[in-house]
Chain A
Amino acid sequence: MRLRTRPASGGFELYAWFFMRVSGILLILLALGHFGYMHLLNGVEKIDYEFVARQYRTPFWKTYDLLLLSLALVHGANGARTLIDDYIHARGWRALFLAALYTASFFFLVVGALVIVTFQRVR
């Protein structure tokens, strides 16, 4: 019950909290921008392979989507980390769940980023 003063992870939790605030605000703006461009300015009937290929000719949309992907994944993964931290107390299970979470997040981040960065239009 006694609080351990100044444990090593205090600093990390501070940065994690700050990151959640900043990424949360950015994600709202990015998601609104994505929604506005895709669904209001264009519309689902116009979105096909050619549309995406045309978008990815510009570094702007590649950067935009890369930012959206990485922020959403890391924001979500950190949220899941806090859930595991709050509710899984057995050390072994916690390590297992965290390892699975980090592995899956890293995998999806790398695969998603690869698709965006290396995208080449196939004729």
Chain B
Amino acid sequence: MLVKLKILRFDPDNDKAPHFQNYEADVEPTDRVLDALNAVRWYQDGSLAYRSSCAHGICGSDAMRINRTNRLACKTLIRQVAPNITLEPIRGFPVKRDLIVDLTGFFEQYRNVMPYLVNEDPMPTVERFQSPEDRAKYDDTTKCILCASCTTSCPIFWANTDYIGPAAIVSAHRFIFDSRDQAGGERLDILNSREGAWRCRTIFNCTDACPRDIKVTKAIQDVKRAIMSQKL
């Protein structure tokens, strides 16, 4: 089927402002948006820039605004969005070129929450065991692929790029509720700040945007409650 692609393009060397450019691509309804982008780039306009790595919804590189909703180009089928497809870069971070944004700030926010296991006990000779119930507490947040769809769909983040954002809180949640981790209190202290978990206004855009179906808003609420029970 023939689809019309309207892509927001920006070349910092030559353009003063981003502008839309129209393309047409002949693709199958069961193809992905990424296939349509490839069809344009490979056969029509080699200057079109976008990220993609694994192309199977795991690496999280091709998050973009597809028909004004944050999605992964490699997980969105043509039939879900055809025949007119508008593609824009995710919002809130500086655009480097076309659909590629500079995610330096995103990963800085991620690093702020210490997204790794902290355990000062002597190294055990076997695995650190955990009950299925304890594992279930943070199961949902282990699914994050750091695609930035949630953070860049948050209106509060659009207005305040200092806000740590849903993705970083999800990454913190994954370790705060891990029974083997010992730095939960420290992470809660970091998130107990004006630009931390309290900046969340429970808008739910992040939950809608997550391509992995993580209940992002619920995870943020879990963190808020944990801060509350730690402090009160």
Contact = CB atoms under 8 A, between A and B. Distances in A.
B195 A3 contact: yes
Contact of A7 (B160, B161, B194, B227): B194
Contacts of A5: 112, 189-190, 193
Given A10-B192, A87-B159, A18 B164 contact: no
A13 B105 contact: no
Nearest to B113: A3
SS class of chain B's interface: helix, strand, loop or mixed?
A: helix
Contacts of A7: 193-195
B170 to A, nearest CB: 15
Interface string A1-23: 11111110111011011100000
A63 interface: no
Contact of B198 (A4, A6, A17): A17
Nearest to B168: A3
Interface residues of B, number: 26
B228 interface: yes
B108 A14 contact: no
Contact of A1 (B105, B193, B198, B201): B105
B109 A10 contact: no
B190 A6 contact: yes
A17 B224 contact: yes
Interface of A: 1-7, 9-11, 13-14, 16-18, 82, 85-87, 89
B201 A4 contact: no
A3 B156 CA distance: 15
B156 A14 contact: no
Contacts of B228: 14, 17-18
Given A14-B231, A86-B156, A87-B159, A3 B109 contact: yes
Contacts of A17: 198, 224, 228
B32 to A, nearest CB: 32
Interface of B: 104-105, 108-109, 112, 156, 159-162, 164, 189-190, 192-196, 198-199, 201, 224, 227-228, 231-232
Nearest to A86: B159
A109 to B, nearest CB: 24
A4 to B, nearest CB: 7
A9 B194 contact: yes
Contacts of B162: 1, 3
Nearest to B189: A6
A4 B196 CA distance: 9
Nearest to A7: B193
Contacts of B109: 1, 3
Given A86-B160, A87-B159, A14 B192 contact: yes
Contacts of B192: 6, 10-11, 13-14
B196 A3 contact: yes
